[in-house]
Amino acid sequence: MVNSYTFVVFAGVDGVGGGALVAAELEGAVVDDSCALIALLPPSPEQPTVARATRAATPSAARRRDQVRMGHRSSRPGSTTVRVPRAAYGHGVSGVTDLMLEGGHEQVVFAADGEARLRAIIAIHSTALGPSLGGVRFWRYPTEHEALLDVLRLSQAMTLKAAVAGLHQGGGKTVVLVDDPDQPHSEAMLLALGRAVDELGGRYLAAEDVGATPGDMDVIARETRWVTGVDERVGGSGDPSPVTAYGVFHAMRAVLRALDGEPLLAGRRVVVQGAGHVGSHLIELLAGARAEVVVADVNEARARTVAGEHGASVVASDRVLEESCDVLAPCALGGVLDRGTEPRLQCRAVCGAANNQLAEPSVADLLASRGILYAPDFVANAGGIINLAEEFTGYSRERALARAAGIEETMTRVLERARESGTTPERAAEELARERIEREGAGRPWRPGDPTAWTDGKPLTTLRPGH
Ligand code: NAD
């Protein structure tokens, strides 16, 4: 049986962090009665899976599919279906406001400059708690529509991350559409992007993300003062990885306390997937706390070097999920936990730095049903954004580390709430974030010239006082 229709599905759009934004285009797809939906996920560094089939029980599958096609219901519980005109899908900006309304986004800016070869989308999800903060990602997207979905999803996640971390910023993100993310970015393109950021007057604060280099941020900063994470010599916060790792380490303590009543890492077996910037710092901290550390990296030489420096052992990167341990710490790519990998896990808990570890929100329920405690990534890895926010009051690494240690208390609150209300930690964290935005948010978007929580009632005119 062949069906031909087009629609977009948000999976758990109101549950960012876990709430992956899923786009599905069923264009001439072969669908039988037991297959309700084939979802094409936008390829991104954090969602490497490109296709997944969701099976629904017959005989309701055909009816369910019809309801989805008619836009009356979603393909999964807790998700919403939005119909997008076929002609518009992937070929223009029609439907963008539908997507924004669904996700609760305040503003989406498309920036294009032919001479500079710039194609970028800036998404501001929320400024209720203050100016939106989020990285600039350079990536090759198959279509502009997929870039849009990615930036909407990522900016939404930043809102939750900042809110639950107790910061006075909202969520934003930029994606820049490039042919090859590994090629150096031209000065003209970066300057054009800087002008686009500048026009937002501080409503969006840019930072480094996948594909960006510190040098790129320096060039962008020539056109706008609304850039964070700049060089330490000009009041910036430098490499956030040590602070992120410190936060993950403290999140792990909270996890162990929830599991066993005491937070100590000594003697615990922790498997770290990815010995990169964050992973290597985390391994050092774990080894210092006398944990038994196991390291995996696709770059085996790196895994061996880092493990050797800290007395850790090495496991092959394709065997890492099956490794028996107390805590698995994903510190490589996102999307690592899905329906295929979940049955392989031999850990008691998952707590790591990677963004968007759950390939889809329902994996949180699968983990819970197996008794695996999942520490929401956007709570555990907030050290990076905490580090950036420290710039605004005069950067101090000591203060950034002290605040990142506070993730232990935040995670404890999340896990306690989940236990008391019988929900997953992921949902508990999302609820905490939303409650804070309702309680402390301005109730309206932040405007250029408004004060912020850190400017003592004065308008925000600069990000780094004295520089
Ligand atoms: P990185 O690129 O420095 O390190 C990633 C490491 O993972 C690399 O060594 C890579 O070889 C390895 N790797 C890739 N695929 C792998 C696989 N399948 N199995 C094992 N190893 C694999 O990145 P990073 O800065 O350390 O960030 C790691 C994760 O944490 C990313 O998801 C990032 O988005 C997230 N994160 C980082 C920060 C930060 O401060 N750097 C903050 C928040 C979140």
Q: Where exactly are the structural domains of the chain?
A: 5-82, 96-228, 241-437
The amino acid sitting at 103 is: G
* Closest C-alpha residue for ligand 1 atom 41: 241
3-state secondary structure of 459: strand
Active-site residue (options: 65, 119, 173, 250): 173
45 Cβ below 6 A of ligand 1: no
Cα separation values, 15 from 18, 297, 459, Å: 6, 30, 32
Q: Which atom of ligand 1 is nearest to the CA of 278?
A: 26
Task: Provide the percentage of residues in the chain whose pLDDT is more than 90.
Answer: 73
195 Cβ below 6 A of ligand 1: no
45 pLDDT band, cuts 50/70/90, is low
* Closest C-alpha residue for ligand 1 atom 35: 354
The whole-number pLDDT of residue 334 equals 87
Mean pLDDT for the stretch of residues 101-119: 97
What's the pLDDT tens digit per position in 247-273?
999 999 999 999 999 999 999 999 999
278 Cβ below 6 A of ligand 1: yes
Most distant CA atoms of the chain, gap in Å = 68
For residue 9, is pLDDT > 60? no
3-state secondary structure of 258: helix
314 Cβ below 6 A of ligand 1: no
Tell me the CA–centroid distance for residue 256 and ligand 1, in Å. 23
Angle at the Cα of 263 from the Cα atoms of 257 and 265, rounded to 5 degrees: 130
341 Cβ below 6 A of ligand 1: no
What's the pLDDT tens digit per position in 392-421?
999 999 999 999 999 999 999 999 999 999
What is the C-alpha to C-alpha distance for residues 189 and 186, in angstroms, rounded to an integer? 5
End-to-end CA gap in the chain: 65
What is the C-alpha to C-alpha distance for residues 294 and 303, in angstroms, rounded to an integer? 9
276 Cβ below 6 A of ligand 1: yes
Residue pair 31/55 in contact by the 8 Å Cβ criterion: no
The whole-number pLDDT of residue 94 equals 53
3-state secondary structure of 224: coil
* Closest C-alpha residue for ligand 1 atom 40: 241
Mean pLDDT for the stretch of residues 169-193: 96
Tell me the CA–centroid distance for residue 420 and ligand 1, in Å. 33
Same fold flag, 96-228 and 241-437: yes
For residue 37, is pLDDT > 60? no
CATH code of the region 96-228: 3.40.50.10860
Q: Which atom of ligand 1 is nearest to the CA of 273?
A: 20
Residue pair 175/151 in contact by the 8 Å Cβ criterion: yes
Angle at the Cα of 440 from the Cα atoms of 419 and 464, rounded to 5 degrees: 110
The whole-number pLDDT of residue 234 equals 80
**364 vs 80, which has greater pLDDT?**
364
The whole-number pLDDT of residue 396 equals 93
Paired sense of beta strands 80-82 and 347-350, if any? unpaired
89 pLDDT band, cuts 50/70/90, is very low
The whole-number pLDDT of residue 233 equals 82
For residue 372, is pLDDT > 60? yes
CATH 3.40.50.300 fits 241-437, yes or no: no
Q: Which of 17-26, 192-201, 353-362 has the lowest mean pLDDT?
A: 17-26
330 Cβ below 6 A of ligand 1: no
Residue pair 255/413 in contact by the 8 Å Cβ criterion: no
**Where do the H-state alpha helices sit in 289-406?**
300-310, 362-369, 377-380, 383-389, 397-405
Tell me the CA–centroid distance for residue 155 and ligand 1, in Å. 19
* Lookup result for tokens 């900016």: 155
Q: 161 catalytic, yes or no? A: no
CA 17 to chain CA mean position, Å: 6
The whole-number pLDDT of residue 6 equals 25
The whole-number pLDDT of residue 46 equals 55
Mean pLDDT for the stretch of residues 192-221: 94
Contacts for 183 with CB less than 8 Å, ≥ 6 apart: none
Computed over every residue of the chain, the mean pLDDT equals: 83
The whole-number pLDDT of residue 52 equals 32
Tell me the CA–centroid distance for residue 385 and ligand 1, in Å. 16
